[in-house]
Amino acid sequence: MIGVSLNQTGSPDSKSGIKCDTQFLRRHFLQVVIQEIATGRYWQRTGLWTYNRDMATAFQSCSAALEQATHLQLQNVQLVLTREIKECEVIPIKTSFRSGASEHV
């Protein structure tokens, strides 16, 4: 998770140095949710908050979440970006074939 804090004006906190909606973020992050900093709850819809991140409203970009937070005049919230990490592991194997044996694939 990467957090992007919003200050009282609803803009990204300049101390963090993180800018929203770069090509990197759009390619690598799957969902963005709004989180209330003091309680850790996530925004579900107007007037509803949840502790379960899976129940929160997921946005496709930082700008969409920021626009919603600004529209609702939410204060002391942050954007939480969650990405899927895909890992691949290669395990080499040593194979030996007896001379003269035929291989069928």
Q: Which residue bears the tokens 């691949």?
A: 88
**What pLDDT is stored for residue 61 in this prediction?**
86
The larger pLDDT score, comparing residue 77 to residue 82, is at: 77
For the entire predicted model, the pTM comes to 0.57
List phi, psi (to 5°) of 77. -125, 165
CA distance 36 to 76: 6
**What pLDDT is stored for residue 24 in this prediction?**
58
CA distance 90 to 23: 29
**What pLDDT is stored for residue 89 in this prediction?**
72
Band (10; pLDDT cuts 50, 70, 90)? very low
